[in-house]
Amino acid sequence: MRACRIVRFSRAAYYRAPRPALQADAEVIAALQAIVEKHPRHGFWKCYRRMRRKGHPWNHKRVHRVYCALQLNLPRRAKRRLPQRLRQPLDAPATLNTVWALDFMSDALYGGRKFRTLNIIDEGNREGLMIDVAFSIPSTRVIRMLDQLVATYGRPGALRMDNGPELISEALAEWCGQRGITMHHIQPGKPDQNAYIERFNRSYRQEVLDAYVFGSIDEVIAITEEWLEDYNSERPHDSLGQLPPRTFLPRPNQVRESSFELST
């Protein structure tokens, strides 16, 4: 006792072994983590008041010290978990309208304003059905473009696409369900599972987006339409035996048009 008094050391502290901070604050950490896991957008004071309502006795100074030690005071983003996807076979269908593939691309005008493209192809003959160019392409516009294609070419059996927010929307799922169209979402981070549209995107990127300097969105649309017509009708395709898509596997209406031209 005399020795403790000389060095000004508490007898209670002398006889009680110090506990690690992690062990001492274990209950506070568990309570904070439980609240943050359930309410990831809550700040400190909302977390603290929830803890007090649950009957925890710790004062705000201790809770805030633990809160900062866990780095919960830094900006947090609640990440949306993507659903688990099964690997879909990438077999080239022998008929048209079996599977359509969809994907988005982006670029910018000379002035810096960004625009997007929605590319849609038929995997049966790799024909580019549409390249929609706009500054914004929400899910409602995607559905509108698909409606136009269905009216022109008929209904596909399935759509192959990634997990972008426009392509996993409830509106698109409802649209497909009403028409009996299967949705084949590729696994996250696996663009090779949508290889046909990725190869189409590469050609479009090299021959259009990277080849021109665009001053307006109208220029992008005009050059894209010209390129798409050449791609479908004239440009040889390596995987199709150096034939363009419409020659490799023409659509019934194209066959009727060609036979009519020969007869006249």
Assess if residue 146 is contained within a domain: yes
Query: Same structural domain for residues 139 and 225?
Result: yes
Q: Which two tokens stand for residue 110?
A: 């000379």
On whether the CB atoms of residues 149 and 252 are closer than 8 A, the answer is: no
In DSSP notation, 144-157 reads: HHHHHHHHHH---S
pLDDT at 21: 74
Query: Same structural domain for residues 37 and 162?
Result: no
Contacting residues for 167 by C-beta, under 8 A, at least 6 apart: 102, 139, 142, 161, 185
Query: Same structural domain for residues 70 and 115?
Result: no
The percent of the chain in helix, strand and coil, each rounded to the nearest 5, is 50, 15, 40
On whether the CB atoms of residues 84 and 64 are closer than 8 A, the answer is: no
Q: Which CATH number fits the domain that encloses residue 169?
A: 3.30.420.10
pLDDT at 20: 78
What is the domain range of residue 46? 19-77
Assess if residue 6 is contained within a domain: no
Query: Same structural domain for residues 139 and 240?
Result: yes
Query: Same structural domain for residues 171 and 64?
Result: no
Interhelix angle 60-69/44-53, nearest 10 degrees = 130
pLDDT at 85: 63
In whole angstroms, how far apart are CA 30 and each of 25, 51, 68, 100, 216?
9, 11, 14, 49, 56
Query: Same structural domain for residues 36 and 150?
Result: no
Query: Same structural domain for residues 125 and 188?
Result: yes
pLDDT at 183: 94
Query: Same structural domain for residues 24 and 139?
Result: no
Assess if residue 88 is contained within a domain: no
Instruction: List the pLDDT tens digit at each of the 264 positions of the chain.
Output: 677 777 777 766 666 666 777 788 899 999 998 898 888 888 899 999 999 999 999 999 999 999 998 888 877 665 555 555 666 666 777 789 999 999 999 999 998 999 999 999 999 999 999 999 999 999 999 999 999 999 999 999 999 999 899 999 999 999 999 999 999 999 888 888 999 999 999 999 999 999 999 999 999 999 999 999 999 999 998 888 899 998 988 887 654 333 333 333
Assess if residue 13 is contained within a domain: no
pLDDT at 76: 63
Query: Same structural domain for residues 49 and 180?
Result: no
Assess if residue 86 is contained within a domain: no
Dihedral (CA of 228, 147, 142, 175) sign: negative
Q: Report the number of distinct structural domains present in the chain.
A: 2
Assess if residue 132 is contained within a domain: yes
pTM comes to 0.64
Assess if residue 232 is contained within a domain: yes
Query: Same structural domain for residues 168 and 217?
Result: yes
Assess if residue 30 is contained within a domain: yes
pLDDT at 59: 93
Query: Same structural domain for residues 165 and 58?
Result: no
Helix (H, G, I), strand (E, B) or coil at 226: helix
Query: Same structural domain for residues 165 and 215?
Result: yes
Q: Closest by alpha carbon to 36, among 72, 9, 62, 68?
A: 72
